[in-house]
Structure 1
Amino acid sequence: MKFKVEVRTIILENYDTGILPHMLVSIGCLLFVFHIIGAKISNDCGHAESRRTFHNMMMCFIVLLAAMSIVLIAGGSMCFAHRNFLGDAFKKGLLSSMKLYKENETVKEMIDRTQLEFRCCGSTSYKDWFEVSWINGEDINMEHPDVQSNLKHGNYYGDDVPFSCCRINSSRPCIFHKWLIIILLRHLQTSINEAIEEGDPEGGGDAYCFSQAPCYTIL
């Protein structure tokens, strides 16, 4: 648990694992030792020749085991309470980290990895990305009318999400802001190929996404 949390501290806000992981490991080790001792006592009490020596230890062992059970319940309660604390830290931290998505490569990588691993999108929902300017201005045409209409204080706010929000097993294509770029690049590539094949590399050529598609564009 400590390892899983600490590798994501960059997207957690005001969170500290504290003594909980050490406490749980300690309880586990103690229970392991106690049960070995209990097995020894129980085995020796099963034989008449050794019963007299170990049967008085049985009550002490039961008391110690009951005490350990109380500690174990306390550890479980701490885990339950810690879950809510971790959830709040993750929610606030992810919202803050999303604002750094386009500027900090380390934060971007961690958010993408987290969304892909846990198949999630945003902090509470995918709409959280609509409130964040997460697209770098260098990746889009800032002079385009559609882009201009979504500019606020010089930053672009769109209704799309990063690629890591896409579901791998989805039966439909996942659309995000770079999808349009892929289509345009495909049109440019096919247009260049068509122009070369027609013997006029500097001229225009038919552009398309798929050769069997009914719509063509001259570029």
Structure 2
Amino acid sequence: MALMKVKFNMKKRVKLAQGLWIMNWFCVLAGIVLFGMGIFLKIELRKRSEVMDNAESHFVPNSLIFMGVLSCALNAFAGKICYDSLDPAKFAKWKPMLKPYLIICLFFNVFIFFIAVVCLVTRGSLESTLSLGLKSGMRFYKDTDTPGRCFMKKTIDLLQIEFKCCGNNGFRDWFEIQWVSNRYLDFSSKEVKDRIKSNVDGKYLIDGVPFSCCNPNSPRPCIQLQVTNNSAHYSYDHQTEELNLWNRGCKEALLHYYTSMMGSMGALVLLVWIMEMSVMVGMRYLHTCLDRIENHEDPECESEGWLLEKSMKETIQSFWDFLKNLGKMNQVENGEGEENATASAS
């Protein structure tokens, strides 16, 4: 028994074909939007690639670009089918392609839904990627003379200024790494020697931060060195001077930026998925209702369209049997191949 049967007369079939034609071209526009979102996200990720530790972070933008191109192609093709569907002569050449087209659409919609979910739940992977990437980038901040790392200082400074953040989790992260290059240290100075000797790794660590951590909203000139030493500055208490430095870490700032962006993209991808599912269902009804009147003498007669030719249970069983038959055929082919190899060897 067919699932979700609907009766169509000539007027309803025309309206269905016209409605689907319009929806397909809306989906083409949606595909262009998906493509644009993928390009935009790819550019944004490349801009911050030096502070990201995951080389696979371009999976989502690449998927959006691919889906955008495929959506434009599939829906333009479907739009042409809908346009020709009410002319029996023109529809005849499209008819053999409809079933493969609907199968491709099914897999395409599953993939769209998967990408929408990935966009909405990507926070965890982004957090670890940014945490490791920022930590690595901060360690290379001082290496302005090292090829491949000479632009890291500029990258980190611009990042902290743009996103109003400091360090990985906060400004205290700068206290744990040497961010001043040895070429700018006076090794004849007792203070420099004492600081290097007091550290197990022989690094020059200070309770200071780069200038880019300074908050311009602070009413006093920025204190970026001896940040925790109250006695080194007049009328200063580092625990209450909230406006002196940015308190938010760059991991949190970037995570908020990217998760907000990905959340918006996930919602748009879900909207596209709903549109594509609607088109796929409509195309199935158009296919089945036109298929029923192919050999009918009266082209204006009523016809039935359905979503599935059998019930859900029977459809799943048929699909399962199809997969089992494929497995058996594969085993038979492997067996025949082994027999032929044995015969040729003997």
> TM-score per shorter chain, which class?
0.5 to 0.7
CA positional deviation for 1:20: 4.4
Q: Which runs of 5+ in 2 are unaligned?
A: 1-40, 145-149, 227-346
Q: Look up the match of 2:108.
A: 68
CA contact (8 A) 1:41 1:58 kept: no
User: For 1:89-114, what per-residue CA distance to the aligned partner results, in whole angstroms no more than 9, with x for missing partners?
Assistant: 22112212212222333221221122
CA contact (8 A) 1:91 1:123 kept: yes
- Residue among 151, 156, 170 paired with 1:111: 156
The one-letter amino acid paired with 1:90 is L
User: For 1:48-93, what per-residue CA distance to the aligned partner results, in whole angstroms no more than 9, with x for missing partners?
Assistant: 5569938968975665444322111122334456553333122112
CA contact (8 A) 2:53 2:133 kept: yes
- Residue among 149, 158, 182 paired with 2:206: 158
Q: Look up the match of 2:178.
A: 133
Give the structure, 1 or 2, with the largest relative contact order (CA under 8 Å, sep 6 or more). 2
User: For 1:111-141, what per-residue CA distance to the aligned partner results, in whole angstroms no more than 9, with x for missing partners?
Assistant: 1122223332111222211212213456577
Task: Give the Cα separation in 2 of the matches to 1:25 and 1:138.
Answer: 46
CA positional deviation for 1:33: 1.6
CA contact (8 A) 2:135 2:168 kept: yes
Q: Look up the match of 1:190.
A: none
The CA RMSD over aligned residues, in Å, is 3.9
Q: Which runs of 5+ in 1 are unaligned?
A: 179-219
Task: Give the Cα separation in 1 of the matches to 2:195 and 2:123.
Answer: 38
Q: Look up the match of 2:78.
A: 38
Task: Give the Cα separation in 1 of the matches to 2:98 and 2:172.
Answer: 60
Is residue 2:51 matched to residue 1:11? yes
Task: Give the Cα separation in 2 of the matches to 1:132 and 1:121.
Answer: 14
> Residues 79 and 35 of structure 1: is their aligned pair in 2 closer, same or farther, counting only changes over 3 Å?
same
TM-score normalised according to structure 1 size = 0.59
How many residue pairs match? The answer is: 174
Q: Look up the match of 2:222.
A: 174
The one-letter amino acid paired with 1:102 is K
Is residue 2:137 matched to residue 1:97? yes
